[in-house]
Amino acid sequence: MKKKIVVISGAGISAESGISTFRDAGGLWEGHDIMEVASPQGWQKNQSLVLDFYNKRRKQALAVLPNAAHKDLVKLEKKYEVHIITQNVDDLHERAGSKNVLHLHGQLFQSRSSGNEQLVFPCTEDINLGDICEEGHQIRPNIVWFGEQVPNMALATPLVQKADFIIVVGTSLAVYPAASMLDYANKNAQIYVVDPNIPFIDKQPNTYMYEEKASTGIAKIVKLLLKDTEI
């Protein structure tokens, strides 16, 4: 039976592909206050602004490619059962070839009904004001905004509990509920953390820090873990 690896990824891994990180030091995202474009309140206040914002994010994501970190993680599937739990809404992990990707915060290339969250649709084109679902509700991005439930946490926590190895890359793990994921780690799991600014985490035994960008840190970890299986 293959050992299990869970990768918890955040904006830092996609930044090397040219996708803007979620927010800068001023609390802005592409010049917008986050709550204007990533909250139910912002949606109620100005749906056109929110739709335009995500239409631009979608175009940006289509214009970039997976980077070395995304591609190196796929190599681990030769020897391990690998699950990616990502806070990113882009599809770069999938485009790199990862087979098991769980999106915590929704997907940029999906839309859903604003009145029935069970109605989810593929989305590669712009969403416009007046685009409605079969039930007559405005279509919105299938993104989990601040203040909304994160339903996929219920799927993520069992994966973390069963993991032999956990790789945390490109995320500060500062935003809940994702911030709590390492609390579910098996006490014997080996944890690897990759980020130029190492996040504060409750460091367990068998935790290894790589204070560098995603591509270089992931390359080292992948080499280590693949070598380990060949001994």
- Based on the residue annotation, tell me whether 105 is a catalytic residue of this protein: yes
Backbone torsion region of residue 98, taken as left when φ is above 0, otherwise alpha when ψ lies between -120 and 50, otherwise beta:
beta
- The 3-state secondary structure of 187-202 reads CCCEEEEECCCCCCCC
Residue 102 φ then ψ, to 5°: -115, 120
Choosing from 32, 83, 105, 137, the catalytic residue is 105
The encoded tokens of residue 9 equal 């990824």
The encoded tokens of residue 146 equal 């601040």
Burial of 78 (0-12, 13-18, 19+ CB in 10 A): exposed
For 73, the enclosing helix (H) or strand (E) is helix 68-75
Active site residues: 105
